[in-house]
Structure 1
């Protein structure tokens, strides 16, 4: 894999013009084959690279193109291998390799995850509760290598042996603490298989349930497991089924089947463990069903679904608590309902709606509610006592994120939360809501890192329509805003997902080389409330792209970066953002990093057989309707490529990606190569054994990131 070159030669290359064409290998040329993509209302488009789609991932011609792209990437990046290796070693040196999570107590056991030095995958384990045992004493025992009372639930390192990709994304222990069910994925396509183990005898049960989502719930009888079956083609979550241990999964009965393919399914338990919940949700609607966990034969609907009505619910202390946007509560409110409530007429307001505060979630405790909310672009936690008194968890920086941690038991005076920022590693605290005592449980150890050497700021950029855009910035202390530095600007801006300013092990390597890192909290996310999301989707999607460009202009004008040393970075729907800005403002960016990019919007959204399509008509629009078709066509990166000079690009994908299929970036790169009039390199890296999240394992992903960062630094002239 490694092809070494002298560091002197590497630095000389980095200070020279970035890869003049006559010094680079010849990029692959994918053949063009005429193909017409038709919309139901009659519109037609030519897609000369449509043939690169191969659902089986076995077509020799397609694999030949992908392998040629990897070979070209190897050749172009060969001189940067020493820099890539140095970056990789820097990043992994910041990882405490024998680290462990903060233990959480549940039904008489303390559960946690730990890593072993040199190993890629976690070990999931537990210890029985005992007098004097608490999270800090268990962390101390783990750090000292004292595992005398530990029971290993899953050693993922052993399960992953001999596999190019492996992930365990869900597991659940039966109520009597004796049985374990877990969901594993060995391809990266997010089609999971469920397996079972007896925690008393160590026996591995013979049955395996394939083609499922990573969502598992045991019933109180300690033998019945509820799970969600995926559609084998679209991967949509379509059916909730139940399995009785020791029986043939082929005969598992269907508990609930979702009739609407714009909805996702989820299952869980209520806070008081009394109910099993089935959650159906789409972009604009949701519905909750519930059944007693001790007799889950019949599920009742809490409130029937209706378009533009969203809600989620939990149960504790004899009542339902519901977060909802009902009655015009655009930023959501909390209401309560009695056990037997079946309609919204039975709901009573608990925490009212506010125009300036978005309620994102809540956790129920005996005596209080912890509310996750967002205002002025920042994530925070409000504690509301049952007598109406309220307080906020406090922060010490201008740009930060506070979120609820693992609060596994409700009958406590302590609430756990995580604090992080661009300069502060993730820190878990426990706060006593009555005494005010704050206890540090764990701060993410980062060997060799001193937060005092770095500065974070919260800025506000003005978009072209006058909207104020929050921006989080970090740099190394001593940085001077003289308009000479290199900048990496990150953005996402879709699905109402907020990109909070969290600590990053890898970004430090950029800051230590004098770069500035910025997160543009653009519309399409939810940083500034629900309206922020709604102003960046459907027929307002262009706001996402122009916001990002306007933030770039602002940072350059304020002296945070040189106008010719700006890089942009985004992935998935953030890759759509990267493709859009590359077409709209190519001269503003020296290099663009685009991972698993959603770049062929119209073709994908016209095909309901592709995973995610039908679920996302209310996010992007349904192109079967002319209004949405033409609007989407106006920004779709693949459709708007044209003859102009593009920035240097690093595009990445996974062959087995189930969310953004590999052929989208493959087609995009092929057309880009044909139309690009510039000389900057375009590198396309395909992980042939990975999915949407890249390679598995805690170290392997940093190898990928180091390769991308080496390309970034070389293009920006950062030594």
Structure 2
């Protein structure tokens, strides 16, 4: 197929930007200071920009201020608008627009997802295995028509295969509405419930749905309801209510569809309740009671439960228990022992085999073993130094084949299946990348960076094959470092637009994630949180010292809790960065964590600490980006937020940029873009998201090619 366009094939930076005079660019808005006292048991603080918080999202003056910020951003962006357009076309041009996922079998149908040329949203389809025409279950493009934002967050087919339950969001605030479609007629049923989380479970008779309702103020998931099809929403039955606001909930079915499962989780503890799906009005049964610093997950197969747990095993171990012995973990029997060098991420139980997705040396691998001899196991192989293996869709326990995904920074996502008995492996699909992409033009590498305390930090790198390590290249350094979430080296076709222009792309696997096991997370949270920031800066220093990058061409990026990372780095080492990009940044740490009325605050105490306790208050205050803004020369910054964000409220970044402007001593641009129609995840639609990435990358490229204003 002929590529849509020709992309850069050399590593030199040779870009030009439209000349825009100073008078053509708007001046940045200046927010009025209105002192507000934020009280706590450990002292009061004055917040001059607290007035930017509007929980109703209806204040004309707040909206006007955000629109002024947007206008300033658009004005600044006009100086490189041609590059934005070029990058947008280039990034979208790599996408195979008429694309389909690998079909998988579930029940009497083959299911897949496809995209059509020019359309933003997926189409979910199925085809009868016995023969017949394809059925369109959901065309999200049709559902999204006329809406500024639309997302189908989850869908589940009923056990009788005749109904589809799905969750839709029209604001980006992640407060979902349940819809049910009759697949035999194509009609929507009258059944709707709102204010829900995204999870769904079915009863075995296909007449009852289990959903989780969110608190309308805090948005915490608090209640599980059973809804019988055909009844009014008010007749839904309460199945479970959580009293501890540090926990959140989800519902689902076991992989064999035998049970409805209610999961109740906090950062350090969880518990699972199960219900026989054939008796939807029956009694819940507890797998094991919650206990602080005890976590587990479970799935059912052939009358027993397989459990992944950190009980006396920080990196987790696998155990089994007969269904009749649920309720007491002392009945659990060890299946796969704890290993200090291997973190067990997840598992899939098949009739004759068990597949384990685990981390060792910072990489995700897959290990296979048989039930006949679980002590004998083997790994699926890879030829690359840095890669990611993960489970694909495997809905049926009786299958002899495991579907899994493989990717790296140079290898597009690929779906394989391996025969669990013979080891035969088949490539089912490798994502096609248009625009002349050749994986042999790129190199992926892994380096180990010594942190300040001597700990070695793994870093994944991507650069062109003709890259010269001479200390002149720009660097785009990404990290997250919170919640035990690992930033794996997945293939990202969009980032090629930076790499093809000579930029080195780095993923810093800093503490706070879980790349190196559970201790990696423990060493980057609570009173160890500043390790995350120190690690990130150490990676920057190393890559500059080792001549992977020029000292004056380093741009950092992080989002959400990674935005907090960017804020802390900006305060701690602003001179090391040409620019920082903070997406939906969590930057007003202390004020937010003191306010239990804000969504999702209380169940974050075990991640950040409870500021009502002085030790945590003082520690959090010492790094909170908003509180620690000071008179110094800040680098150029691009900050993004969503007006309807329920996870990091828009007013955190809005207050932060207002304060930065009054304190910075440099002339570097401080920009904020608020998406007025979206939430934490940004705009909906695949092309809309690519356009936002193009804006970010254009900002990066103009920074590293234009002279720095002092």
Q: Structure 1 length as normaliser, TM-score?
A: 0.94
Q: How does 1:635-650 map to 2 (within 5 A)?
A: 635-650=623-638
Q: Who is 1:412 aligned against?
A: 399
Q: 2:334 aligns with which of 349, 365, 380?
A: 349
Distance 2:617 2:24 in 1: 42
Determine the structure 2 residue equivalent to 1:28.
29
Query: What is the alpha-carbon distance in structure 2 between the residues aligned to residue 20 and residue 159 of structure 1?
Result: 44
* Separation in 2, partners of 1:51, 1:325: 44
SS in 1 for 2:190: coil
Contact 2:268/2:295 (<8 A) preserved: yes
Q: 1:679 to 1:22 in 2, by over 3 A?
A: farther
Following TM superposition, by how much is the alpha carbon of 1:234 offset from its aligned partner in structure 2, in angstroms? Answer: 1.0
SS at match of 2:534: helix
SS at match of 1:205: strand
Match of 2:284 among 280, 299, 304: 299
1:440 pairs with 2:441: no
1:287 equivalent in alignment to 2:275: no
2: distance between equivalents of 1:232 and 1:639? 29
1:617 equivalent in alignment to 2:605:
yes
Q: Is the 8 A contact 2:387 2:489 kept in 1?
A: yes
Report the counterpart of residue 59 of structure 2 in structure 1.
Answer: 59
1:566-601 Cα distance to aligned partner (Å, 9 max, x none) = 000000000000000000000000010110000000
**1:113–1:124 contact (8 Å) kept in structure 2:** yes
1:174–1:218 contact (8 Å) kept in structure 2? yes
The CA deviation at 1:126 is 0.3
Q: Which residue of 1 aligns with 2:38?
A: 37
Could you tell me which residue of structure 1 aligns to residue 493 of structure 2? 505
**1:680-706 alpha-carbon deviations (Å, 9 max, x no partner):** 101110000010000000000111111
Matches within 5 A, 1:514-663: 514-663=502-651
SS in 1 for 2:646: coil
Structure 2 residue aligned with 1:153: 137
Partner of 2:47: 47
* 2:473 is the alignment partner of 1:485: yes
Contact (CA 8 Å) 2:25, 2:72: kept in 1 or not? no
Select between 19-28 and 103-112 the one with higher mean Cα deviation.
19-28
Q: Give distance in 2, aligned partners of 1:579 and 1:406.
A: 38
**Corresponding residue number in structure 1 for 2:253:** 269
For the 8 Å contact 1:426–1:443, the answer to whether it is kept is yes
Task: Please give the TM-score of this superposition, normalised by the length of structure 2.
Answer: 0.96
Contact 2:15 2:705 in 1 (8 A): no
How far off is 1:24 after superposition? 4.4
1:345: Cα distance to partner? 1.2
For 2:256 and 2:71, the matched residues in 1 are separated by 55
The residue aligned with 2:4 is none
- What are the residue-to-residue correspondences of 1:420-499 with 2, within 5 Å? 420-447=407-434, 448-499=436-487
Return the offset for 1:23: 7.6
Residue of structure 2 equivalent to 1:234: 218
Give the structure 1 partner of residue 299 of structure 2.
Answer: 314
SS across alignment from 2:616: helix
Distance 2:542 2:102 in 1: 41
Question: 2:3 maps to which residue?
Answer: none
CA RMSD of superposed structures (Å): 1.4
Alignment of structure 1 residues 147-296 onto 2, 5 Å:
149-296=133-280
Alignment of 1:318-397 (within 5 A): 318-326=303-311, 328-341=312-325, 342-386=327-371, 387-388=373-374, 389-397=376-384
User: What is the CA distance between 1:290 and its match in structure 2?
Assistant: 0.7
Q: For residue 121 of structure 1, what is the aligned residue in structure 2?
A: 121
Is the contact between residue 165 and residue 689 of structure 1 (CA under 8 Å) also seen in structure 2? yes
Question: How far apart in 2 are the matches of 1:397 and 1:323?
Answer: 28
Deviation of 1:264 (Å): 1.1
Whole-Å separation in 2 of the counterparts to 1:11 and 1:413? 53
In structure 2, runs of 5+ residues without a counterpart are: 1-13
The Cα of 1:253 is off from its aligned counterpart by 0.9
C-alpha deviations, 1:519-539, integer Å up to 9, x for none? 000000000000000000000
Q: CA deviation at 1:102?
A: 1.1
1:401 and 1:688 map into 2 onto residues whose CA distance is: 35
**C-alpha offsets along residues 341-380 of structure 1, whole Å, 9 cap, x if unaligned?**
2201111111000111001111110111111110111111
Q: Report how many residues are paired.
A: 689
The aligned counterpart of 1:76 is: 76
CA distances 1:206-227 after superposition (whole Å, capped 9, x unpaired): 2311111111111011111111
- Identify which range, 148-157 or 612-621, moves more after superposition: 148-157
Detail structure 1 runs of 4+ shifted over 3 Å in the superposition: 10-14, 19-24
Match 2:672 to one of 662, 665, 684 = 684
2:550 partner SS: coil
Contact 2:408/2:491 (8 A) holds in 1: yes
SS of match in other structure, 1:587: helix
